[in-house]
Amino acid sequence: MSEAYVKSHIEHGINTIEFFHPQSNSLPGKILEELAREIHFAGTHDDTSVIILKSAGEKTFCSGASFDELASIKNEKEGLIFFSGFANVINAMRKCPKFIIGRIQGKCVGGGVGLASAVDYAIATDKAEIKLSELAVGIGPFVVGPAVERKIGKGAFSALAIDATSWRSTDWAKKKGLFAEVHESIENMDESVYRLANTLAHSSTHAMAEMKKMFWVGAENWDELLKERAAISGKLVLSEFTRNAINKFKAKA
């Protein structure tokens, strides 16, 4: 695999949305746009009862924002557009009336933690360590922050955001509520993912839609909030500190 993609497949009421990027499943604007579109479509599609969100490969679920794209941002407008991509995906997940199961097979960084937080039920392997690395490059987890805070609480979120260079274990993530289940192998994780997906595919779609509204109460203002947060990130990404930090990370890659 060398070409980035987002693809979906519907079978027996289960809509599996998979994304891939050759740079550790990072998220450039095009991938974010396609993810938001596929999630929105799945939410309105009568043949879909439940969604599985997954990425390809084994080591990394998602490494967050594409450094190549971050480095190419030239002004605040471009910055707002890029970070709005994360806002659009999270809001699509929030508004989707179908439950979204996250298949988290590997490490989550930055925006990847945001995706794992915005799914309704995350099932992970014990290799799925997490890190909110944004501060290390002079930004901050502004756009994904509300989703992460909603899932694990303000205390755990602030600890994760402030200590931006340290990995947190899957055990830590499960105890804080980010992961509903943690399994010792990909095979066991997949067995649990498809067991739950099959159960939900045979459950009442109306009941699940009402439950999802209940779970997301308090997030009704996120269309505006996440756009405001995207503007903050879009401005900070232009700083000399961030430019230098991104170049250093790219040099190590």
pLDDT digits (tens, 9 = 90+) for 42-98: 999 999 999 999 999 999 999 999 999 999 999 999 999 999 999 999 999 999 999
Least confident of 123-132, 174-183, 219-228, 240-249: 240-249
Given a contact cutoff of 8 angstroms between Cβ atoms, the answer to whether 233 and 69 are in contact is: no
Cα–Cα distance measured from residue 53 to residue 41, given in angstroms and rounded to the nearest whole number: 13
Cα–Cα distance measured from residue 232 to residue 19, given in angstroms and rounded to the nearest whole number: 27
Element (H, E) at 143: none
In CATH terms, 5-186 corresponds, of 3.40.50.150, 3.40.50.2300, 3.90.226.10, 3.40.50.2000, to 3.90.226.10
Tell me the average pLDDT across 187-203.
98
Domain segments of the chain as ranges:
5-186
For residue 184, what pLDDT band results from cuts at 50, 70 and 90? very high
Cα-based distances in Å from 120 to 28, 48, 201, 215: 23, 16, 15, 9
Given a contact cutoff of 8 angstroms between Cβ atoms, the answer to whether 51 and 100 are in contact is: yes
Q: Is 12 left (phi over 0), alpha (psi -120 to 50) or beta?
A: left
Concatenated DSSP letters of 216-233: TTT-TTHHHHHHHHHHHH
**Radius of gyration from C-alpha coordinates of the chain:** 17
Residue 162 burial (CB count, 10 A):
11
CA torsion, points 21, 26, 28, 33, in degrees to nearest 10? 80
For residue 251, what pLDDT band results from cuts at 50, 70 and 90? confident
Q: What is the mean pLDDT of the chain?
A: 96
Task: State the DSSP code for 20.
Answer: E
